[in-house]
Chains A and B, each alone.
Chain A
Amino acid sequence: MSWAFLRDLLSGVNKYSTGIGRIWVAVVFMFRLLVYVAAAENIWKHEHDEFECNIKQPGCENVCFDHFFPVSHIRLWALQLIMVSTPSLLVIFHVAYRENREKHQNQKLYRNPGKIDGGLLCTYLISLILKTGFEIVFLVLFYKLYNGFKIPRLVKCDIKPCPNIVDCYISKPTEKMIFLYFLVATSCLCIVLNLGELSYLIFKYSIKCYLKRHVKKQQ
């Protein structure tokens, strides 16, 4: 019970997505989930042990680490992945509801229960808006919590019980910064894909509606 659950969820979503939606699933799976599990987790694994302060005062390192990393990057990244994948469940639930309705009434109510039209289109658009919203919220959270996306080598700390201003050194700052930029870049790419899919769906169904009305008027 771990990231495999999310992988199964994403594979389920893929069936009912548009072409851009499938690219989004591939990006999330390959460039975010896989990178997280295979690489990023190990970089942040010993962040607390390897955080060193130039002082022997017991408790000073703990307190300084807690001050500079209220919520670790890697936990925020994990939460972001989970929250961003969850809105797709709305679409899965809606399709399952449609299929269940057809089964109960023993007749074909929809041309294809998985086709994005009618109520399912609204659900899909809502899920896209929620996904984009979550991405933006987490990027803003990252920016606000860590004063930009930089990870300095040295931080100065003077919180009790540290007796004076103490130098503290963060482990692997460059590697962490590279992966942080990678996270931000893939987030932005996913936002662009979501917005693109939103525009495409709205445009497609507006044209459809317009043509229908046009044809009706001509008749």
Chain B
Amino acid sequence: MDWGALHTILGGVNKHSTSIGKIWLTVLFIFRIMILVVAAEKVWGDEQDDFVCNTLQPGCRNVCYDHFFPISHIRLWALQLIFVSTPALLVAMHVAYRRHEKKRQFRKGDQKCDFKDIEEIRKQRFRIEGSLWWTYTSSIFFRLIFEAVFMYAFYFMYDGFRMPRLMKCNAWPCPNTVDCFVSRPTEKTVFTIFMIAVSSICILLNVAELCYLLTKFFLRRSKKAGNSKQQPNHENKEETKQNEMNELISDSCQNTVIGFSS
């Protein structure tokens, strides 16, 4: 059970996302999870071993390390990534529920159900409308909240995003104010700023996706209101074509070959 499991779970959600959602997922996997596993974990690997204090007093180093790093950056990032990925499970559960309903209808022999076999139901891609729209929009909203909360927690816990070289500590059992030196402070600052920057990009993508979904919702409503007044004529056909084109643009990049399962 590792980040690969998350990749498998989120890959299924990818099929039902908008194109901005797919870009968000790519940024998440390549610029956050991959960087965390491949580079950042090694930078923080020796953080306690190489945390050195100018004292021989046993226990002083441990206590000072614990005082300055209540939760390590690496663990906070891992938690952030898990929390931020979890709302997508709401969408996955909703899609699974809909599929289950369709399978039930199919097995009952319901005439409304126009699928030829179970495989087609399994492979079907649901459009983001109706109750799925609400689930999807809520999941983006929760993602935004989690990102913002974790960024604030970082800022609050570590007094900004810089890692200082020297920290002065006088927690018991240190006999007086003792100089403690952090290992690789510059490299840690660089990676912290990088991860914060990518977090901000993810927040922007989520905001853009939210705006896009809300715009689509209101346009659809106004078109429905407009259509109910008009009589059906050839103009509706053109509008339907335009709607299809809009759907195509929003449904692009479906079969991205980055290992997302279909």
Contacts and interface: CB of A to CB of B under 8 A. Distances in A.
Q: Say whether A and B bind each other.
A: yes
Given A5-B34, A59-B52, A75-B43, A92 B181 contact: no
27 contacts: A1-B7, A1-B29, A1-B34, A2-B34, A3-B38, A5-B7, A57-B54, A59-B166, A62-B52, A63-B165, A66-B165, A66-B184, A66-B187, A69-B187, A71-B190, A74-B42, A75-B187, A82-B35, A89-B258, A92-B257, A92-B258, A96-B256, A99-B255, A101-B252, A104-B248, A161-B166, A161-B179
Number of chain B interface residues as a range: 35 or more
A19 B4 CA distance: 32
Given A48-B183, A48-B184, A75-B43, A93 B253 contact: yes
A9 B258 CA distance: 6
Nearest to B258: A9
Interface string A96-133: 11011100110000000000000000000000000000
B128 interface: no
B258 A62 contact: no
Interface in A64-78: 65-66, 69-72, 74-75, 78
A199 interface: no
Interface of B: 2-4, 6-7, 26, 29-31, 33-35, 37-39, 42-43, 46, 49-50, 52-55, 165-166, 179-187, 190-191, 244, 247-248, 251-259
Interface in A24-77: 48-49, 57-59, 61-63, 65-66, 69-72, 74-75
Contact of B181 (A12, A63, A69, A72): A63
A1 to B, nearest CB: 3
- Lowest 8 CB-CB distances: which A-B pairs, in order? A1-B3, A59-B181, A12-B257, A97-B252, A70-B186, A62-B181, A58-B54, A96-B255
Contacts of A97: 252-253
A6 interface: yes
Contacts of A61: 52
B256 A72 contact: no
A92 B31 CA distance: 17
A59 B3 CA distance: 35
A82 B184 contact: no
Interface of A: 1-3, 5-6, 8-9, 12, 15, 48-49, 57-59, 61-63, 65-66, 69-72, 74-75, 78-79, 82, 86, 89, 92-93, 96-97, 99-101, 104-105, 161
Contacts of A2: 34, 37-38
A5 B29 contact: yes
A72 B40 CA distance: 11
Given A1-B37, A79-B39, A62 B50 contact: yes
B30 A93 contact: no
Contacts of A8: 258-259
Nearest to B43: A75
Most buried by A among B2, B37, B50, B257: B257
Contacts of A71: 186-187, 190
Given A48-B183, A58-B52, A70-B190, A96 B42 contact: no
Contacts of A58: 52-55, 179, 181
B11 to A, nearest CB: 12
Contacts of A9: 258-259
B187 A6 contact: no
A96 B185 contact: no
A105 B165 CA distance: 60
Given A58-B55, A71-B187, 8 more contacts: A1-B7, A1-B29, A59-B52, A66-B183, A78-B39, A82-B35, A96-B254, A161-B166
A72 B57 CA distance: 32
Contacts of A99: 254-255
A5 B259 contact: yes
Contacts of B4: 1
Contact of B30 (A12, A57, A82): A82
Nearest to A100: B254
Contacts of A57: 54
B182 to A, nearest CB: 7
A61 B181 CA distance: 9
A177 B104 CA distance: 65
A100 B258 contact: no
B254 to A, nearest CB: 5
A35 B254 CA distance: 34
A192 B247 CA distance: 41
